[in-house]
Chains A and B, each alone.
Chain A
Amino acid sequence: MFEIIKRRKIWYLISALIIIPGLISLFTQGLNLGIDFTGGNIVEIKFDQNISTAQVRKVVENEGLTSNYIQESSGNVFLIRTEVTTEEQNTKFLRALNDELGSYELLRNDRVGPTVGKELTQKAIVSLAIAAVLMIIYITWRFEFKQGVAAVVPLLHDVLVTVGILSITQLEVDSSLVAVILTIIGYSINATIVIFDRIRENLHMKKGMKLEELIDTSLWQTMARSINTTLTVLFVLVALYLFGGSTISTFVLALIIGVTSGLYSSIFIASSIWYDILDSRRKGKKAVKAA
Chain B
Amino acid sequence: MRRGSVTKLVCVLTVVAVIAVLAFAPIFEEKVSWLPLYKDINLGLDLQGGVHVVLEAKDTEDIKVDQEKMAQLKATIDRRVNAFGVSEPIVQQEGDRRIVVELAGIDDPDAAVESIVKTAYLEFIGPDGEVILTGADLKDAVEVRDPQTNEVQVSLAFTEAGTEKFADATTKFVRQQIGIVLDGNMLQNPVVNQPILDGKAVITGYNSFEEAHEIAVLLRSGALPLKVEVMEKRTVGPTLGQDSLDKSVVAGIIGFTMVVAFMILYYRVPGIIANIALLVYTIIVLALYIALDVVLTLPGIAGFILSVGVAVDANVLIFERVKEELRNGKSLRTAIDSGFKRAYIAVVDANVTTLLAAGVLYYFGASMVKGFALTLSIGILVSMFTAITLTRSLLKLTAETGWVKNTKYYGA
A-binding segment of B1-9, B125-133, B155-163, B359-367:
B359-367
Does any Cβ of B come within 8 Å of A29's Cβ? Answer: no
Seed contacts A182-B372, A183-B372, A189-B354; 16 additional CB < 8 Å A-B pairs = A53-B237, A110-B98, A112-B95, A112-B100, A114-B92, A115-B92, A127-B363, A127-B369, A134-B357, A179-B302, A180-B302, A187-B309, A189-B353, A194-B350, A235-B262, A245-B248
Question: Nearest 8 A-B pairs (CB), nearest first?
Answer: A179-B299, A245-B244, A239-B255, A236-B255, A127-B364, A245-B247, A243-B251, A113-B93
Residue of A nearest to B360 (CB): A131
- In the docked arrangement, what's the CA distance between A236 and B350, Å? 22
Contact between B360 and A134 (Cβ–Cβ < 8 Å)? yes
Q: Which of A41-80 contact B (CB under 8 A)?
A: 42, 52-54, 57, 68-74, 77, 79
Query: Does A289 touch B at the CB level, under 8 Å?
Result: no
Q: Distance (Å) between the CB of B35 and the closest chain A CB?
A: 26
Q: How far is the CB of B316 from chain A (nearest CB, A)?
A: 5
Q: Specify which chain B residues have a CB less than 8 angstroms from the CB of A142 in the assembled complex.
A: 349
Contact call A243/B356, Cβ cutoff below 8 A: no
Asked if A232 and B312 sit within 8 Å, CB to CB, the answer is yes
Interchain CA distance A70-B238 in the complex, whole Å: 8
A interface residues with partner B (beta carbon < 8 Å): 39, 42, 52-54, 57, 68-74, 77, 79, 108, 110-115, 117, 119-120, 123-124, 126-128, 130-131, 134-135, 138-139, 142, 151, 175-176, 178-180, 182-183, 185-187, 189-191, 193-194, 197-198, 201, 221-222, 224-225, 228-229, 231-233, 235-240, 242-248, 251, 255
Q: 18 A-B Cβ contacts within 8 A?
A: A42-B100, A68-B240, A71-B236, A74-B235, A77-B234, A115-B90, A127-B365, A131-B356, A134-B360, A135-B356, A178-B299, A179-B299, A179-B372, A182-B376, A225-B316, A233-B305, A245-B243, A255-B305
Q: Across the interface, name the chain B residue whose C-beta is closest to A68.
A: B240
Of the residues A114, A180, A231, contact of B262 by C-beta under 8 Å: A231
Size bracket of the B interface? 35 or more
Query: Across the interface, do B251 and A201 meet the contact criterion of CB distance under 8 Å?
Result: no
Chain B residues with CB under 8 A of A247: 240-241, 244
Q: Which of A117, A127, A243 contacts B247 (CB 8 A)?
A: A243
Interchain CB contact under 8 A, B303 and A183: yes
Residues of A within 8 A of B352 (CB): 138
- B312 closest partner in A (C-beta): A232
Query: Contacts of A113 on B, CB cut-off 8 Å?
Result: 74, 92-94
One of B95, B258, B317, B364 near A126 (C-beta < 8 A):
B364
With A123-B369, A225-B317: A248-B234 Cβ-Cβ less than 8 Å:
no
Q: Is there a chain A Cβ closer than 8 Å to B239's Cβ? A: yes
Known: A73-B235, A127-B369. A194 touches B317 (CB 8 A): yes
Q: How far is the CB of A178 from chain B (nearest CB, A)?
A: 6
Q: Mark B241-275, 1 if CB is under 8 A from A, else 0.
A: 11111111011101110110011001000000000
A253 to B340 Cα, complex, angstroms: 35
- Asked whether, in the complex, the Cβ of A186 is within 8 Å of the Cβ of B241, the reply is no
- Would you call B306 and A39 a contact (CB within 8 A)? no
In B319-372, the 8 Å CB interface with A consists of 320, 324, 342, 345-346, 349-354, 356-358, 360-361, 363-369, 372
> Is B214 an interface residue, CB under 8 A from the partner?
no
Complex Cα–Cα for A225 and B343 (A) = 11
Smallest CB–CB gap between A128 and chain B, Å? 8
Q: How far is the CA of A72 from the CA of B11 in the complex (A)?
A: 48
Does A240 contact B251, Cβ atoms closer than 8 Å?
Answer: yes
A53-B242, A239-B251, A247-B240 known; A42-B94 Cβ under 8 A: yes
The smallest C-beta distance from B323 to any residue of chain A, in angstroms, reads 8
- Chain B 192-223: CB-based contact to A (< 8 A → 1; otherwise 0): 00000000000000000000000000000000
Contact between chains at A74 and B255 (CB < 8 Å): no
Separation in Å of the B25 CB from the closest CB of chain A?
24
A87 to B95, CA, bound (A): 15
Tell me the bound Cα distance from A53 to B256 in angstroms: 27
Which of A79, A194, A232 contacts B236, CB < 8 Å? A79
Q: CB distance B312 to A229 under 8 Å? A: yes
Q: Is B308 an interface residue (CB 8 A)?
A: yes
A176–B236 alpha-carbon span in the complex (Å): 21
Residue with the highest number of chain A CB atoms closer than 10 Å, among B241, B312, B317: B241
Partner of B346, one of A115, A135, A194: A194
A109 to B254, CA, bound (A): 40
A interface footprint on B45-89 (CB within 8 Å = 1, 0 otherwise): 000010010000000000000000000001000100000000000
Q: Identify A245's interface contact among B245, B302, B313, B345, CB under 8 A.
A: B245
Q: Nearest chain B CB to A232's CB is how many angstroms away?
A: 5
Interchain CA distance A244-B301 in the complex, whole Å: 13
- Do B360 and A229 touch across chains, with their CB atoms under 8 A apart? no
